[in-house]
Amino acid sequence: MFWFACVELSLFGLGNIKKTLFSVLLLVVLLIFKFGMGDIKLLALILITHSFSAIGYLGYVFLVAMVHIVVLAGVNRKIPSKIPLAPSIFIGLSTYLATR
């Protein structure tokens, strides 16, 4: 994925610098709140290579993550202490791109 992102950035550039800097700041805040480093790297690749609103996209990701928590809690009959965000990130990306 890193190499695809490098090719994308070399062909199309970073896009809007303000959106990119805001995305990086948002990712640093998520890192401070103890999000997984793999999730941060995946979100960084998506947010840097696609020039869209980071707040809107992360809203979709967190909405899908909440649904994921509810489903896991319903199946296991207890609230999970940790959930993988990668499925929520990909489903949120596809949902966000489908609605734009």
Q: Kindly calculate the radius of gyration of the chain based on its CA atoms and give it in whole angstroms.
A: 15
**What pTM value is reported for the model?**
0.70
Q: pLDDT band for position 1 (50/70/90)?
A: low
Parse the chain into domains and list their residue ranges. 2-99
Place of tokens 């993550």: 65
Q: What is the mean pLDDT of residues 61-79?
A: 88
CA pair distance 89, 19, nearest whole angstrom: 19
Structure tokens at 86: 């990668």
